[in-house]
Every structure is written in C-alpha cells, then in structure tokens.
Amino acid sequence: MAGSFSYTVVLDACVLYPAPLRDLLLSLAAAGIFRARWTPIIQDEWVRNVLKNRPDIGAQQLQKTVALMNQAIEDANVENFEYLIDALSLPDPDDRHVLAAAIAGHADAIVTFNLKDFPDARVKPHGIEILHPDDFLIAQYDLAQLSMLKAVKTIRQRLKTPPRSAQELVETYRLQGLPQFSAMLEKAIELI
C-alpha cells in the first residue's frame, strides 16, 4: 500500500516454488513482519515449474493457491513495471522482470536463492539489496522474534496432513536451505 513503512521485498519465483518456504514467507508477510511483493510473471514462473516437476499437483489447485496469495497479501502484485525491463541489464535477461518489479514496487530487497543472477553492480544503483532467504529470515527474526515465533507456531498448528512436531518443522526448513533460521528456531523450540 502507498506510504507503507514496512520493509518491502520482491519474492523471486525460486522462493515461492517450494511450498514450505512459500507458506513461511506468506505467513510472515500476512502477520505484518514485512511487505511481500511479486508480479503475475513471477507467479506464472513458479507455477509453471511446479507443474513441470510435480505432475501430481493440478493446475487448478495451483491457480487457487495464486488467488489465495493475492487475496491474503494486500497490494502484493506490482503493476506497471514492464516498461523498465528492456532498460535493465543482468547476466540472465530473463531475470530483468524481477529487478524491474523491485524498482517499480519500491522494494528494499529481492529475496532469492539465485544471488549470482543479481550482481551488486547492477542492482545497488537502484537501492535494492539481494538477499538469500536464510539471511532475510535471520534479519527479520532479529527485528521481531516473538512475532516470528508466533507465526511459525501457527504454521505448525495449521499442518494437519501430516501433523508436524516443532522439530520436524525445523528440519523441513533446514531442508529448504535455511540452516541459520533453523538453528535460531531450535533455540526457541518450546515456543513453536
């Protein structure tokens, strides 16, 4: 929303692709810990890759997920960013839309596993940080520990098929490539 003081990030498709990480990031954004942004192009990219790699998940189910995401996170869809794409230069031209969305969406950072795809020399002039999700989550945890722990506990309580213990959920996050965040959660395991 206009005038928001929340730390604003564009979530790259690679962090929306794995369901546990997507759920974690969206739950934290819904709790007001940070402001999440994306575009229809980013949404299409992660959905297309899930459909390619997981034929057991139907397109209709994923479109419902996208609709729920757009409904849950106010003003998440960045608009009017396309005109910037051709003016940007990145190692992979297919990633320019993400940087364009970050610029147009007034983002502070892009959260991605693909750090090398967004070299500092190309993004710093736009005032945008490139953050690995583990580093991003640690920074958010340092700022809002209790809110983060409450959100993670809510996620765990929501998981019914199958239910997960706190330790199992922490291990899920470790397997998602979040070793620092998992270590922090283990220190507060009794709270989640």
Residue written as tokens 């809510």? Answer: 154
pLDDT, residue 6, reads: 80
Domain boundaries, the chain: 8-138, 145-191
State how far the Cα of 25 lies from the Cα of 58, in Å rounded to an integer: 22
CATH of domain 8-138: 3.40.50.11490
Where is 64: in which H helix or E strand? helix 59-72
Please report, for residues 48, 56, 63, 114, 139, the alpha-carbon distance to residue 53 in angstroms, rounded to integers and kept in the order given.
Answer: 9, 9, 16, 19, 31
For the whole model, what pTM was predicted?
A: 0.93
Buried b (16+ CB within 10 A) or exposed e, 18-37: bebbbebbbbbbeeebbbbb
pLDDT block averages, 10 residues each, the chain of length 192 = 69 97 96 96 96 91 94 93 96 96 97 96 96 97 94 94 93 97 96 94
* Sheet with strand 35-37: strands edge to edge: 35-37, 8-11, 109-111, 129-131
